[in-house]
């Protein structure tokens, strides 16, 4: 029997209903921030709590609640977790072949100045890793590199956490934006273009902010040329690729462009003074292994191949060929126990409308498949035998079991939130803030990343809420959906999961609270900048953001 959503189920009051159905969100906050529960346990228990909550509050049939959560879990695993597994596998192959040491050395040998090393490694190279793998990989790798170069552990971890901001929205070959598309129904390319008109402002500012944080304004002035080249080249490439190539390549293209341009600058320009931390001896200069151009090219070749393949996969001609000729995809047009059983209601729609439920996984078009094919090519280039690759694949899967569970449970929550009407209730509640909502839209993304540790998960949680609220307020929903992701990027540095990764990589296990105190003020400050940008784009320069066609 069909069931109709009721957004004011408790006392015919949206605020009261919103309070009741937001209990699972408060629980998730408590589980992660206060109880310090492991992510996968917090995710699974939050999903179970949500099922119970919507059944009690909305009188949603248990079967519908379970069916919608299973559909969400499946979408969390394929295609989103598929991207993460393939990306981490590709990275692990480069490590297994010993090529990552060459990549690391090719960057670190460019300069012995700690400020410039932070720009090259924490900002530019960290952005590259975020784009190629994401999911904690950038902070773990860049922080360990900086410690290896002589950075004090707390500074290395904190700097890398702060640097890992602007690229997060496009991390994991666009996984966060794909999640936003799945949750909100807005095209990933449209969301990417909007984010590409918000984050470049942050991308220009973050390198300067990083160096001021390290060496003060006086120390930053000495390397302003490098700061300008690093940030501006990244920002320009991020804007161009997000607006003209889509959601998958911005981080990879922008980071490589920034690295190359900064490296070229360092060939013709050097700072007057070599800056080091006070605890270091001025005469201590690290010696770096010299590698030939061919060795460096070979080491970077997996990511060069990935960039080329992703570019091909994104063309309309290739998509048409796969869709019309290969026809290799999984399709469930009517999701059992859900499709045809849920109706949206006013004021979300003018009259009751069927909420369709289906599942489709385009295997060949999936980004994870592109990365997997790149991994096979990498095995040939780096001469990795199938047996060695199999061991790498096994260790990769083993290390990602709990993250996969977390992603599935969070997407399960997101889907049940949509099909129960929870997202719509909260959206209607936030709509009560009226024209001030654009300022607060990034805060939702920030909160979501703090709770889940992932911009992908935050977009899944609040993507539809942002869409609904913007529609209710009367502003462009693309703006607020994009703002959810843009706000989320600065929540990554205070996420318990990110801090745990950074602490583990730098030998600071047990001192996570010190890292949190280091990053919290920077997180809030950068969030306020994004809130102001979103507000200006809503009312002063609305033409900056694309609209849904």
DSSP 408-432: HHHHHHHHHHHHHTHHHHHHHHHGG
Angle between helices 455-473 and 437-452 (to 10 degrees): 160
- Does residue 284 lie in a domain region? no
- Does residue 278 lie in a domain region? no
- Does residue 443 lie in a domain region? yes
Could you tell me the pLDDT band of residue 458, with boundaries at 50, 70 and 90? confident
Q: Tens digits of per-residue pLDDT, 156-205?
A: 889 999 998 888 888 877 889 988 998 888 999 999 999 999 999 999 99
Lowest mean pLDDT across 164-168, 288-292, 450-454 = 450-454
- The total of other beta-carbon atoms located within 10 Å of residue 529's CB is 15
282: CB partners within 8 A, 6+ apart:
274, 276
The angle subtended at Cα 442 by Cα 438 and Cα 445, nearest 5°, is 140
- Does residue 202 lie in a domain region? yes
Could you tell me the pLDDT band of residue 223, with boundaries at 50, 70 and 90? very high
Could you tell me the pLDDT band of residue 285, with boundaries at 50, 70 and 90? low
- Does residue 49 lie in a domain region? yes
Q: How many folded domains does the chain comprise?
A: 1
CA atoms of 530 and 492, how far apart (whole Å): 14
Provide mean pLDDT across the span 141-147: 80
Determine contact, residues 210/122, Cβ cutoff 8 Å.
yes
pLDDT of residue 56 exceeding 90: yes
pLDDT of the residue at 343? 96
Residues of the chain with pLDDT > 70, as a percent, come to 96
- Does residue 281 lie in a domain region? no
- Closest C-alpha to 165, from 540, 489, 512: 489
Using DSSP bridges, classify how beta strands 353-354 and 342-344 pair: parallel, antiparallel or unpaired.
antiparallel
Determine contact, residues 497/136, Cβ cutoff 8 Å.
yes
pLDDT of residue 545 exceeding 90: yes
Domain residues for the domain of 113 are 3-272+290-355+362-544
Using DSSP bridges, classify how beta strands 342-344 and 3-4 pair: parallel, antiparallel or unpaired.
parallel
- Does residue 309 lie in a domain region? yes
pLDDT of residue 469 exceeding 70: yes
Using DSSP bridges, classify how beta strands 342-344 and 329-332 pair: parallel, antiparallel or unpaired.
unpaired
Q: Tens digits of per-residue pLDDT, 354-374?
A: 999 999 888 888 878 888 999
Lowest mean pLDDT across 35-49, 51-65, 274-288, 487-501 = 274-288
Tell me 125's DSSP state: I
pLDDT of residue 249 exceeding 90: no
Could you tell me the pLDDT band of residue 348, with boundaries at 50, 70 and 90? confident
CA atoms of 86 and 372, how far apart (whole Å): 5
pLDDT of residue 410 exceeding 60: yes
**Where is 169: in which H helix or E strand?**
none
The model's pTM is 0.78
Burial 386-425 (b: 16+ CB within 10 A, else e): eeebeebbeebeeebeebbbbbbbbbbbbbbbbbbbbbbb
- Does residue 469 lie in a domain region? yes
Could you tell me the pLDDT band of residue 151, with boundaries at 50, 70 and 90? confident
Provide mean pLDDT across the span 18-25: 94
Provide mean pLDDT across the span 220-238: 96
pLDDT of the residue at 281? 60
Could you tell me the pLDDT band of residue 63, with boundaries at 50, 70 and 90? very high
């Amino acid at each position: 029997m069909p069931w109709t959503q009721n957004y004011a189920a408790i006392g015919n009051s949206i605020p009261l209903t919103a309070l009741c159905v937001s209990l699972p969100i408060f629980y998730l906050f408590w589980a992660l921030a206060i109880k310090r529960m492991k992510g996968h346990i917090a995710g699974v228990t939050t999903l179970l709590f949500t099922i119970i909550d919507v059944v009690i509050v909305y009188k949603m049939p248990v079967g519908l609640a379970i069916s919608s959560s299973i559909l969400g879990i499946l979408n969390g695993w394929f295609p989103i977790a598929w991207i993460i597994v393939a990306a981490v596998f590709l990275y692990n192959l480069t490590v297994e072949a010993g090529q990552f040491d060459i990549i690391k050395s090719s960057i670190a040998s460019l300069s012995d100045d700690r400020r410039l090393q932070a720009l090259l490694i924490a900002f530019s190279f960290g952005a590259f890793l975020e784009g190629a793998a994401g999911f904690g990989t950038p902070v773990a790798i860049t922080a360990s590199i900086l410690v290896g170069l002589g950075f004090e552990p707390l500074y290395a971890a904190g700097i890398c956490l702060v640097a890992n901001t602007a690229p997060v929205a496009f991390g994991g070959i666009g996984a966060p934006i794909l999640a936003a598309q799945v949750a909100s129904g807005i095209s990933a390319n449209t969301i990417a273009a909007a984010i590409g008109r918000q984050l470049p402002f942050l991308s220009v500012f973050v390198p300067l902010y990083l160096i001021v944080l390290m060496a003060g304004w006086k120390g930053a002035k000495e390397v302003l040329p490098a700061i300008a080249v690093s940030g501006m080249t990244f920002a320009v490439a991020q804007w161009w690729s997000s607006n003209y190539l889509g959601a998958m390549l911005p981080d990879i293209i922008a980071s490589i462009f920034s690295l190359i341009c900064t490296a070229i600058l360092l060939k013709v320009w050097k700072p007057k003074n070599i800056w080091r931390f006070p605890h270091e001896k001025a005469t201590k200069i690290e010696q770096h292994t010299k590698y030939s151009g061919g060795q460096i090219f070979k080491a970077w070749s997996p990511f060069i191949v990935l960039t080329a393949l992703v570019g091909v996969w994104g063309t309309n001609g290739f998509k048409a060929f796969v869709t019309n000729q290969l026809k290799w995809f999984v399709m469930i047009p009517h999701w059992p126990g859900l499709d045809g059983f849920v109706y949206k209601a006013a004021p979300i729609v003018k009259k009751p409308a069927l909420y369709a439920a289906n599942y489709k996984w385009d295997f060949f078009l999936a980004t994870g498949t592109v990365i997997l094919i790149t991994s096979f090519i990498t095995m040939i280039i780096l001469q990795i035998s199938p047996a060695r690759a199999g061991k790498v694949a096994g260790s990769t899967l083993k290390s990602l079991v709990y993250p996969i569970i977390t992603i599935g449970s969070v997407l399960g929550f997101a889907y049940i939130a949509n099909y129960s009407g929870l997202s719509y209730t909260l959206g209607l509640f936030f709509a009560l803030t009226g024209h001030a909502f654009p300022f607060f839209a990034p805060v939702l993304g920030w909160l979501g990343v703090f709770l889940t540790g992932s911009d992908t998960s935050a977009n899944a949680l609040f993507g539809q809420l942002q869409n609904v609220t913007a529609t209710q307020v009367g502003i462009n929903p693309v703006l607020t959906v994009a703002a959810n992701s843009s706000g989320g990027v600065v929540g990554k540095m205070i996420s318990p999961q990110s801090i745990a990764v950074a602490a583990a990589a730098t030998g600071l296990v047990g001192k996570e609270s010190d890292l949190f105190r280091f990053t919290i003020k920077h997180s809030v400050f950068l969030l306020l900048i994004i809130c102001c940008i979103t507000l200006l784009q809503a009312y002063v320069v609305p033409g900056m953001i694309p609209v849904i066609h």
